[in-house]
Amino acid sequence: MVGAASDLNRLGGIPLRLTMRYGFPGPIYPINPRREEIAGLKCYPDVTSLPEAPEFALICTPREDVLPALAQCAERGVRAAAVITSGFAETGAEGVALQKKILELRDTSGMRVLGPNCMGVVHVRSKLMATFTISIRDDDPLIPGAVAIVTQSGAMGACMLTGFQESGSGISSLVSLGNEVDVDFAECVEYFLDDPHTRVICGYLESVRDGERLKQAALRALERDKPIVLLKGGKTEEGARAARSHTAAITTSSDVFDAFAAQYGIQVLESMDAFIEIADFLARSRPIQGNGVGVLSFSGGLGSLAADLSTEAGLALPILAEGTQEKLAGVLPDYAPKDNPVDLVSLMVSKPESQPLKTAGEAVAGDENVDALLFMMGVYHHVGEQIAQEVKALFETSRVPVAFTWMTGPREQIDALRKASVPVFGDYARAIRGLESLISLKNAREAAASRPRLVDTARAEQAKRLMRESIPSPDGFLPAETCAEILDLYGVPRPKETLVETSEEALKTWENYKAPIALKVVSDNLSHKTEAGGVILGLNTPDEVLCAAQKLLALSYDARLLVQEMIEGGLELLVGVSNDPTFGPCVTAGLGGVYVEALDDVARLLPPFEATEAARALSGLRSRVIFDGFRGGPTVQIPLVSDIMVKISELATELEDTVAEMDLNPLIATAEGCIAVDVRIKTNP
Amino acid sequence: MVGAASDLNRLGGIPLRLTMRYGFPGPIYPINPRREEIAGLKCYPDVTSLPEAPEFALICTPREDVLPALAQCAERGVRAAAVITSGFAETGAEGVALQKKILELRDTSGMRVLGPNCMGVVHVRSKLMATFTISIRDDDPLIPGAVAIVTQSGAMGACMLTGFQESGSGISSLVSLGNEVDVDFAECVEYFLDDPHTRVICGYLESVRDGERLKQAALRALERDKPIVLLKGGKTEEGARAARSHTAAITTSSDVFDAFAAQYGIQVLESMDAFIEIADFLARSRPIQGNGVGVLSFSGGLGSLAADLSTEAGLALPILAEGTQEKLAGVLPDYAPKDNPVDLVSLMVSKPESQPLKTAGEAVAGDENVDALLFMMGVYHHVGEQIAQEVKALFETSRVPVAFTWMTGPREQIDALRKASVPVFGDYARAIRGLESLISLKNAREAAASRPRLVDTARAEQAKRLMRESIPSPDGFLPAETCAEILDLYGVPRPKETLVETSEEALKTWENYKAPIALKVVSDNLSHKTEAGGVILGLNTPDEVLCAAQKLLALSYDARLLVQEMIEGGLELLVGVSNDPTFGPCVTAGLGGVYVEALDDVARLLPPFEATEAARALSGLRSRVIFDGFRGGPTVQIPLVSDIMVKISELATELEDTVAEMDLNPLIATAEGCIAVDVRIKTNP
């Protein structure tokens, strides 16, 4: 412990006090040139004079002493160091330069570095308490638990640690990342995936350093069934400003991050108590099989509130089976609703001896259409002990997840239940959010399992060759013919079309088609052809065709004409590919038109993804109702659109970063299928 | 107490036990024909045999005895009775019939009735405990407080009571409404408006019996500065089903209720703990003057989360003044962010003796651009006492509201602060929601104060006469001429237009206009003229005009033609009036077009309202961004649209229920003004 302080209640002293108190089994070496001894331990002037090379060093010296100390550590063969000291990249140019030197030292020595500007690291089972986290209290030793905390904010980590201590689940470890000069968020996730004691990985995240690495870690977390639960800062401009000023990191696009989180089942929560209770619930709950929730409540009003919120969260409240209702009739009076929600009325006042909670809970949880039990109590201090016992039995024996809520209930029994491994929600809204999390995890897990993993290398090679052999426009757009060939390669339907050079050829083509046509100008000088008046629709007389053709040919010296069969009666969609600096390609899809664009009502997915994911993202659009034929409009089959999105996902995956952006605009969708009426592909130089 | 039980822990015994325990000063008469004495009180066989007429009777007999008991009460001159007994309208036809008899008894006798199927009533200061609410505990006497609870769910009321007891604010009273046969929610609100001890009126609401009465009560609540805070059940179909089954009431449209709540500053919350903490905060906080929030946090990460959430809630985070930042520099280290959010870094570990909370808090709260202080701490049990003291001083002396959050903090100090009248939020998300509530109340109060109260009776009379003198179509729509006259009366601009009968007249009119025209069919048989192909736009040659006129005249035997100057280059809006069965007329406004309709992205306001309210509602639309000229589209001035909405509000107010529905569709809005291009008014028979 370099920079150990003799005052065991100060920054440099707390880690020493905690580590000794927890009985860390290895040797501890305080280093402080001004002391002979601290807390009964021999004190050394520097790392060089230690009798052996320590495995791990904690640095809490003043800033100017950090680099020399690290250099000594590296020289002695220390394998890892954590730097608590502040004043690096978070403070400006001088700090940035200093931090760069730490990185250089890591590169030359191979010694791994946590921080700087971090709160250190706690590993409960090995009793390593290399932290000044003030929330570790002498009178309340940390419970070795199943939750690992990885945090880009030390203080938030401290809150979380206390939260999990109070919720009874405890933690396996806490890593405060600070400025992430070396060890980053994704690497810690990877570590805890392999930690047999960790069931849930959670923390505070502001900025993602390596999107691909985090994506792979999230994928493995799904495979291993270890939920990731986050608070995420820096979403809005104001939040990002606050974030930059304290970790000196650039924050990433919140839209793309949200898409990533939704797709990979990462639970991003909006309050600290939801975070604690839901992480705790996920660490202890059974998995869920479907979205049917049985609601059992001590209050009809609460049942109504919960039904509202559950429905809005995409949960269903199936009507309970006749057999279930008969079982309920055995314990509930006639007038108590039994279909779902089930109302316990005032049975815990009038007939507690009938054990109504257990009987009713077992009946509802056992119903064939019920995938989870939402069990909500409030107050009832006078029968608190009985409630706790019945709930504990129910939680332990139920085949489905039990989200138990006890609002303004007795603290003593709630604490006891939590200590006995029964998660207790303090509010119905968080309990419902917890069930939503289970379903989100189930969906993400299933999607990940069926997601295509292999790329078609032959096809990829062919597409890349097509791109190489074509000459893009000065602003990087591929020629229309190349775009068409690439679409054909990936099986995206196009309308019947012919590229011609004169108005006479256009007329002849129309005559051959025997159907209305659209004419579109093709020119290297007009990448935004619609805005330039280069698209004329619905031509169906010789005069119309000739007149339109001449007008378009006059738009540019190199103008040619695309004659296209008109696709009528469908809904105009837009499917695109963009590139995020952190997460790479992102496929978007939504209705065409200015409103949808203004409202940003688009589905976003990171490739590769499969059809179910695309369908779910489309179904979550606010404009979803329009797909079903709103006000007599065209009907669109979501599976058909999802199918196109998957093809574009394959394209984006296989062409990697050679595609800068791409748009199918519009993609016309009808009840029979989708046709890409126009496509633009911009290449990366 | 009719139906008093000798077991003081049962339904019929609890009220007796509580009332005696709390030392109710008046005489208490237990009534039970099978007992001589209960709890030391002489027991009577029925109401008739009582030595005097009680002021108030509590009925907890079996259902079959309720009506006889009430009849005896009425006969003896009892002024009010509460019926706890269940089994009335909530259970089916038989119960409905019984409940109707209670109403008849009320009508003939004048005796007021609370319930049936309720939990009774508590009035803390007068020590009336006519309830079986199990959350009143012998070891924790109710604190006489400032919050009144009015609830359509007894069990939710019990949770609330305990919540306010734990938050230290206590309650003034609790009224459980049950089936609302007589006393209803709005009447209770009225009562507590006049109660000097009540600062906040809150409760659980499912269905509104009398919308106008509740509206008036809410208006007076704003004038008297008594916030109304609610949990609202029955929003979704599932929630409404649950609601119906337990109170037997019909729930009202959730859109219109939400509009009412937003307009009248009623805070509708989505979780029990937000409900408790925000009601408590509103009962104790200073009012807010603007939306500038100074954020002071023990964690940069938390500052970022709070900045995100605050921004999304419409709060602003002004950069703090130089003078403020200098004051902060006196206590905070160089590297700590001081612009807003302000980060206390680890000062409470490294330098608690510098009293950083008080100094920094006073500096931020004193900043000229700061209207409220969002002060967020977490953990810090080891300096809990100091934090509590500094926060208390800050709360008491600050000129602006202080929303103090202590996440996973020490329970003892949090309880103590709450008992000392300092509201403490347990989570940052709720604290931000609390500040949002203060602003919502301020806006509603200001709007209510400047809302027009007088109707123009002369104008109303004239409009009604126009309506009476016209002959509506068979399905109730007013003739086009009448609609036009009514719009003129209320100052809603129309395009230049002329009603003609022949195509020649149409041509002549176009020649006079010297501008493009639209032709619209006018016929009693075509109320949906657009769908019937009865509108042809953009005519500007003699051929076009003649051809279109002939086509339209052929649509119906009674067809006439409206020649209208074309309004071009604006944005198409839709402004309408509908009638809600509970709340009466409701004005809606939004962009035209199928997407906006599908997404239900419309502003809803109950007339009368004023321009600021309309502007705020329009600014809250998701499609708001389009008003500013999205992607080169037309720009719309929100004040000009608000002005039209106010005119329609006046119309709806003055014409009352003679208008069944009305649409300006489209209302074309440009940067210069709005023009109602088409209008339909449907009258009530």
Q: What is the pLDDT of residues A264-300, one digit of tens each?
A: 999 999 999 999 999 999 999 999 999 999 999 988 8
Neighbours of A542 (CB within 10 A): 11
* Bond prior to A452 in cis (omega within 30° of 0): no
Please state the ipTM of this predicted complex.
0.90
Task: Find the helix packing angle between A300-312 and A428-450, rounded to 10°.
Answer: 30
Residues of chain B contacting residue A315, judged by C-beta atoms under 8 Å apart: none
- Tell if the CB–CB gap between B90 and A245 is shorter than 8 Å: no
- Tell if the CB–CB gap between B301 and A597 is shorter than 8 Å: no
A144-151 vs A200-205, strand pairing mode: parallel
* Bond prior to A666 in cis (omega within 30° of 0): yes
Q: Which of A212, A192, A215, A210 is nearest to A202 (CA)?
A: A192
Rounded distance between C-alpha atoms, residue B150 and residue B152, angstroms: 7
Phi, psi torsion values for B628, nearest 5 degrees: -85, 10
Residues of chain B contacting residue A154, judged by C-beta atoms under 8 Å apart: 299, 346
Please give the structure tokens belonging to residue A370: 């019920």
pLDDT band per the 50, 70, 90 thresholds, residue A244: low
Which of the residue ranges A125-139, A320-334, A408-422 would you say has the lowest mean pLDDT?
A125-139
Phi, psi torsion values for A599, nearest 5 degrees: -85, -5
Dihedral sign for Cα atoms in the order B183, B235, B96, B68:
negative
Rounded to a whole number of angstroms, the CA Rg of chain A reads 31
Residue B372 burial (CB < 10 Å; 0-12/13-18/19+)?
A: buried
Residue of B nearest to A300 (CA): B246
**pLDDT tens, residue by residue, A202-237:** 999 998 989 999 999 999 999 999 999 999 998 877
Neighbours of B395 (CB within 10 A): 25
DSSP state of B383: G
Residues of chain A contacting residue B630, judged by C-beta atoms under 8 Å apart: 594, 597-598
C-alpha distances in angstroms, A373 versus A399, A429, B1?
10, 14, 39
Rounded distance between C-alpha atoms, residue B52 and residue A393, angstroms: 53
* Bond prior to B410 in cis (omega within 30° of 0): no
Q: What's the confidence (pLDDT) of residue B684?
A: 86
- Tell if the CB–CB gap between A137 and B381 is shorter than 8 Å: yes
DSSP state of B2: B
Task: Find the helix packing angle between A384-397 and A411-419, rounded to 10°.
Answer: 20
Q: Could you state, in chain order, the average pLDDT of each consecutive group of 10 residues for chain B (685 residues)?
A: 90 90 92 93 94 95 94 95 91 90 95 94 94 81 94 93 90 95 96 96 93 95 97 83 57 83 96 96 94 93 92 94 94 87 81 84 95 93 90 93 94 92 94 97 94 85 93 89 94 93 93 92 77 85 91 90 89 92 93 80 94 94 87 88 95 90 92 91 88
For A388-393, which contacts have Cβ atoms below 8 Å and span 24 or more sequence positions?
A: A388/A413, A388/A416, A388/A417, A390/A355, A390/A357, A390/A358, A390/A361, A391/A357, A391/A361, A391/A417, A391/A422, A392/A417, A392/A420, A392/A422, A393/A358
Task: Report which of residues B51 and A383 the model is more confident about.
Answer: B51
Please give the structure tokens belonging to residue B578: 């509908």
Min Cα–Cα distance to chain A from B84, Å: 12
Q: What's the confidence (pLDDT) of residue A139?
A: 78
Q: Which of B206, B273, B304, B571 to mutate to test the interface with A (most CBs of A within 10 A)?
A: B304
B206 with A301: CB under 8 angstroms? yes
A34 with B373: CB under 8 angstroms? no
Neighbours of B215 (CB within 10 A): 19
Residues of chain B contacting residue A255, judged by C-beta atoms under 8 Å apart: none
Please give the structure tokens belonging to residue A94: 């001088």
DSSP state of B46: S
Min Cα–Cα distance to chain A from B293, Å: 12
Query: Across chain A, which distance is largest between two alpha carbons, in Å?
Result: 102
Please give the structure tokens belonging to residue B193: 């408006």
Rounded distance between C-alpha atoms, residue B332 and residue B238, angstroms: 53
Please give the structure tokens belonging to residue B170: 């206590």
DSSP state of A168: T
Q: Which of A123, A151, A131, A127 is nearest to A59 (CA)?
A: A131
**Helix, strand, coil fractions of chain B, as percent rounded to 5:** 40, 20, 35
Query: Which residue among B132, B134, B233 sits closest to A305, beta carbon to beta carbon?
Result: B233
B272 with B231: CB under 8 angstroms? yes
Q: Where are the beta strands (DSSP E) in A392-472?
A: 402-407, 424-425
Rounded distance between C-alpha atoms, residue A196 and residue A201, angstroms: 12
pLDDT band per the 50, 70, 90 thresholds, residue A524: confident
Rounded distance between C-alpha atoms, residue A292 and residue A368, angstroms: 10
Number of A/B CB contacts below 8 angstroms equals 303
Size of chain A in residues: 685
Instruction: Count the helices and strands in chain A (H runs, E runs).
Output: 24, 27
Min Cα–Cα distance to chain B from A197, Å: 24
Residue A334 burial (CB < 10 Å; 0-12/13-18/19+)?
A: exposed
Residue A44 burial (CB < 10 Å; 0-12/13-18/19+)?
A: buried
Task: Report which of residues A550 and A10 the model is more confident about.
Answer: A550
Task: Report which of residues B529 and A88 the model is more confident about.
Answer: A88
Q: Which of B582, B587, B480 is nearest to B526 (CA)?
A: B480
B232 with B257: CB under 8 angstroms? yes
Rounded distance between C-alpha atoms, residue B629 and residue B407, angstroms: 44
B412 with B424: CB under 8 angstroms? no
- Tell if the CB–CB gap between B272 and A427 is shorter than 8 Å: yes
Q: What pairs with residue B336 in β-bridges?
A: none
Residues of chain A contacting residue B382, judged by C-beta atoms under 8 Å apart: 9, 134, 137
* Contacts with B629 (C-beta within 8 Å, 6 or more apart), sequence order: B635, B636
Residues of chain B contacting residue A348, judged by C-beta atoms under 8 Å apart: 134
pLDDT band per the 50, 70, 90 thresholds, residue A248: very low
Rounded distance between C-alpha atoms, residue A585 and residue B56, angstroms: 72
Neighbours of B138 (CB within 10 A): 9
C-alpha distances in angstroms, B381 versus A133, B376, B414?
12, 14, 11
The H-assigned helical ranges of A11-92 are 14-21, 66-76
A560 with A501: CB under 8 angstroms? yes
Report, as an integer, the average pLDDT of A391-417.
93
* Bond prior to B542 in cis (omega within 30° of 0): no
- Whether A361 has a pLDDT exceeding 50, the answer reads yes
Residue of B nearest to A88 (CA): B335
- Tell if the CB–CB gap between A343 and B246 is shorter than 8 Å: yes
DSSP labels for B645-672? HHHHHHHHHHHGGGEEEEEEEEEEE-SS
Phi, psi torsion values for A69, nearest 5 degrees: -65, -45
- Whether A252 has a pLDDT exceeding 80, the answer reads no
* Contacts with A94 (C-beta within 8 Å, 6 or more apart), sequence order: none
Query: Which residue among B242, B273, B303 sits closest to A426, beta carbon to beta carbon?
Result: B273
pTM of this structure: 0.92
Dihedral sign for Cα atoms in the order B452, B453, B459, B461:
positive
**pLDDT tens, residue by residue, A158-204:** 999 999 998 888 999 999 999 999 999 999 999 999 999 999 999 99
Please give the structure tokens belonging to residue A418: 């939590």
Report, as an integer, the average pLDDT of A579-587.
91
A279 with A198: CB under 8 angstroms? no
Q: What's the confidence (pLDDT) of residue B527?
A: 65
Report, as an integer, the average pLDDT of A127-146.
87
- Tell if the CB–CB gap between A308 and B236 is shorter than 8 Å: yes
Task: Find the helix packing angle between A457-469 and A480-489, rounded to 10°.
Answer: 180
Q: Which of A484, A478, A454 is nearest to A659 (CA)?
A: A478
Q: What pairs with residue A662 in β-bridges?
A: A577, A681
Q: Where are the beta strands (DSSP E) in B93-153?
A: 112-114, 120-123, 128-131, 144-151
A680 with A482: CB under 8 angstroms? no
Task: Name the one residue in this structure whose structure tokens are 């006469």.
Answer: B465
Task: Name the one residue in this structure whose structure tokens are 């006042």.
Answer: A349
